[in-house]
A = this chain, B = another copy of it.
């Protein structure tokens, strides 16, 4: 849709009541989350327990970090379907490389650090590949990333001979704190998640690059006429996405210590859904990282509540999930684009 349209339909700030309505809509996902948490605490006594909350936050970190990357891509008007497959691939390759290297590096934190760096590089490189194909090859993002989604997963399946690739047991102990460790009582993944969210929000909102990302998504031609390096910025969003996948994978691997062909299945849908639930526009132009974080938590808590209460037939979990997602977005329908 043409963006200019927004002007005429959306309308000039206006009265206090309108402003309140706007603020309400802007806070939509947050309200949905709060609402969900109230429901959760009413339905299950263990819901508000520190441990349960910590569990949900911690496991949300993985999709969350990926979704933060997706916020950049989508804000710039792009799309990346390959994230789930990519994280499977990164996990698998990183584990293989680390297992190989135990001979020369030992099994200490040094190798773990090397593995982390390797994962980030691999993720970023894959993101660069996606971005370059889309921007320079001028192929629709949907197609390119649908393609690499198949390619990445296939490569992993091939490397793992269809089975799982497991981290060396000695290495597991060194890596374990990355998922299970706590700092001041708060789990490491939560720290990483928060740190990345804060950085990303700042980058998106306070830096020139972030400005350009939004401008490109808002209207690519505007950006072009303002002498913004459009291609470079667009490719960079995919690199950031890849990097985020790399980071998420670093957190994922120590959790179960293995990559399997089913690792990361459907993560792309979850990530995109989180971004959109959070209020970022699917067509691009406007993105907010905090919204994405809230979106991820909404999804995380929905399934947590379903597991904790279990009063619905497990067959219907998907229906409840689907319905809640739609309702959460209905709360902020101003931004709708159909």
Contacts and interface: CB of A to CB of B under 8 A. Distances in A.
B276 A142 contact: yes
Interface string A133-162: 111011111111011111101110110011
A337 B222 CA distance: 15
Given A154-B315, A154-B316, A338-B234, A322 B138 contact: no
Nearest to A332: B139
Looking at A78, A137, A161, which has the most chain B CB atoms within 10 Å of its CB?
A137
A333 interface: yes
Contacts of A322: 146-151, 154
B140 A276 contact: yes
A134 B338 contact: yes
B282 A140 contact: yes
Nearest to A5: B221
A136 to B, nearest CB: 10
A324 to B, nearest CB: 8
A277 interface: yes
Contacts of A319: 150-151, 154-155, 158
Contacts of A155: 316, 319
B142 A2 contact: no
Nearest to A315: B158
Nearest to A319: B154
A229 to B, nearest CB: 15
B137 A316 contact: no
B1 A326 contact: no
A3 interface: yes
Interface in A294-338: 313, 315-323, 325-326, 329-330, 333, 335-338
A323 to B, nearest CB: 6
Interface string A176-209: 0000000000000000000000000000000000
Interface residue tally on A, bucketed by range? 35 or more
Given A151-B318, A319-B155, A322-B154, A146 B2 contact: no
B337 A140 contact: yes
A316 B161 CA distance: 10
A4 B219 contact: yes
A309 B259 CA distance: 29
B4 A269 contact: no
Given A138-B336, A315-B162, A1 B4 contact: no
A69 interface: no
B2 A143 contact: no
Given A77-B338, A138-B338, A317 B133 contact: no
14 contacts: A4-B4, A5-B219, A135-B338, A139-B326, A139-B330, A139-B338, A140-B276, A146-B269, A148-B326, A150-B322, A150-B325, A151-B322, A158-B316, A234-B338
Given A1-B220, A134-B338, 6 more contacts: A140-B337, A143-B277, A147-B322, A147-B323, A153-B318, A154-B319
Interface of A: 1-5, 8-9, 77-78, 133-135, 137-144, 146-151, 153-155, 157-158, 161-162, 219-222, 234, 269, 272-273, 276-277, 282-284, 313, 315-323, 325-326, 329-330, 333, 335-338
